[in-house]
Chain A
Amino acid sequence: MMTLLRAVIRRDLLLAWRRRADIATVVLFFVIVVSLFPLGVGPEPNLLRTIAPGIIWVAALLACMLSLQNMFTSDHSDGALDQMLLAAAPLSMIVVARAFAHWLMSGLPLVILSPLLAIQFDLAPELSPVLTLSLLLGTPILTLIGAIGAALTLGLRGGGMLLALLVLPLYVPVLILGAGAVDAASAGLGADAHLLLLGAQLLVTATFAPWAVAAALRISAE
């Protein structure tokens, strides 16, 4: 089974690399959205420092949404999804492998770029690691929850808009905990509680989301 899952991850990474314009779109969207705020709000350092975690988190949320739409659609239309439904390994494990590959290509770049973007907001250097860590724990949750939405809206007309309406409300707890971690750290309270809760949420999502995605994908094949 491990060989099978490795082949699936390798396939997704290879496909993402050959369609690297798609990844570039997501990353550039993230960078541009984050960069627009200091220009629009004006150079008031205290204000910028306060809004930095929220802005970066919301931008990461929207960038994740953008990358989700093509998670299953092409596999659905060219029949590759049928082959995954009939694979020799449990579908939920294949979903985990695919979500991992998807996060590597669309979530991890955001995590890596975030300390750089935080400089624009004059975020204190000691808060940067907290922001990065919160995104490192949070973006996989965004990918997993988003995968449920992507599987449920598969094959629907105007699925993209519906996906946003379906998934964004579910992102709220992640956003509150993620941005809150940085706020708590800057207030001197320590980010441990927020980060632990975020980690707990990641564990719960990683346990249940693949199963939900698998069920939704089976329905879409009927």
Chain B
Amino acid sequence: MLAAQKLEITRGDRRLFGGITFELRTGTLLLVTGSNGSGKTSLLRALCGLLLPSAGEVRWQNENIRSLREEYWRHLVYIGHSNALKDELSAAENLGVLCALSGVHTRPEQQRQALADFGLAGREHLPAKALSQGQRRRTALARLPLCSTLPLWILDEPFAALDSTAVSHMQSVVGTHLTDGGMVVMTTHQVVPIAAPAMRELNLDECRR
């Protein structure tokens, strides 16, 4: 269970938002919405533990994530704005490294299958620099089905740059993860219906005081 208690984030001398409290139980999707610059990415980075909140804390299984560290991170997949792909490595190699960092060992045929499911069949050995923006995003997201054993997914704009087939595949990937008892925190600007057992919405524009 992921919980935020009175979370407040300040960037420079500007207070982005404050007083964010929520609890995320298994099977729940938390949709973070808000206008540009409202602090969606900062909130996600704070939930990951990359950003230190100016007040409040984030708790995982009732313990502060700052004391849990790797114990928390081995349950987490974070896919940020940037895809974390290395231009010189192929799509499959990139995928293998990203999964390995999450502590998930993947075989080449699993990587190939995950890439094929995201419409990248036959492109797994191309260097990432030869892929288009949408294909790079798909490569980064192809990590999710391989890391389905990790309960918490934190996704920053997962649907950006994706075409409609990839969006519908992502919907089913996220939906499956949630019905299997996972948790997803996600920001998005598009209205994308996801079949989730439970869903909550957090609008950051309302959290600015």
Residues of chain A touching chain B, judged by Cβ–Cβ distance below 8 Å, are 3-4, 7-8, 11, 14-15, 18-19, 74, 77-80, 82-90, 221-222
Q: Is the CB of A3 within 8 A of B78?
A: no
Question: What total count of A-B pairs have CB within 8 Å?
Answer: 80
Additional pairs, 4, CB under 8 Å, beyond known A11-B89, A74-B86: A78-B87, A83-B78, A84-B101, A87-B70
Q: Is the CB of B101 within 8 A of A88?
A: yes
> Which residues of the other chain, B, contact A14 by a CB distance below 8 angstroms?
88-89, 93
**Cross-interface CB contact of A11 among B76, B97, B105, cutoff 8 Å:** B97
> Which residues of the other chain, B, contact A18 by a CB distance below 8 angstroms?
88-89
With the chains together, A206 CA to B7 CA distance in Å? Answer: 37
> Which residues of the other chain, A, contact B81 by a CB distance below 8 angstroms?
79
| A18, closest chain B residue (CB) | B88
> Which residues of the other chain, A, contact B70 by a CB distance below 8 angstroms?
87-90
CB of B34 within 8 Å of the partner chain: no
| B106, closest chain A residue (CB) | A7
CB of B96 within 8 Å of the partner chain: yes
| A93, closest chain B residue (CB) | B70
Majority SS at the chain A contact face = helix
With the chains together, A15 CA to B97 CA distance in Å? Answer: 12
Q: Is the CB of A7 within 8 A of B89?
A: no
CB of B68 within 8 Å of the partner chain: no
> Which residues of the other chain, B, contact A19 by a CB distance below 8 angstroms?
88
Residues of chain B touching chain A, judged by Cβ–Cβ distance below 8 Å, are 45, 48-52, 69-70, 73-74, 76, 78, 80-89, 93, 96-98, 100-103, 105
Q: Is the CB of B84 within 8 A of A86?
A: no
With the chains together, A15 CA to B48 CA distance in Å? Answer: 27
> Which residues of the other chain, B, contact A78 by a CB distance below 8 angstroms?
82-87
With the chains together, A3 CA to B105 CA distance in Å? Answer: 8
Q: Is the CB of A83 within 8 A of B51?
A: no
Q: Is the CB of B52 within 8 A of A83?
A: no
With the chains together, A217 CA to B70 CA distance in Å? Answer: 16
Q: Is the CB of A15 within 8 A of B88?
A: yes
Q: Is the CB of A85 within 8 A of B50?
A: yes
| B102, closest chain A residue (CB) | A88
Q: Is the CB of B86 within 8 A of A15?
A: yes
Rounded to whole Å, the gap between the CB of B52 and the closest CB of chain A is: 6
Rounded to whole Å, the gap between the CB of A39 and the closest CB of chain B is: 37
Given A82-B50, A83-B78, A89 and B103 contact (CB-CB distance below 8 Å)? yes
With the chains together, A84 CA to B70 CA distance in Å? Answer: 11
Q: Is the CB of B101 within 8 A of A4?
A: yes
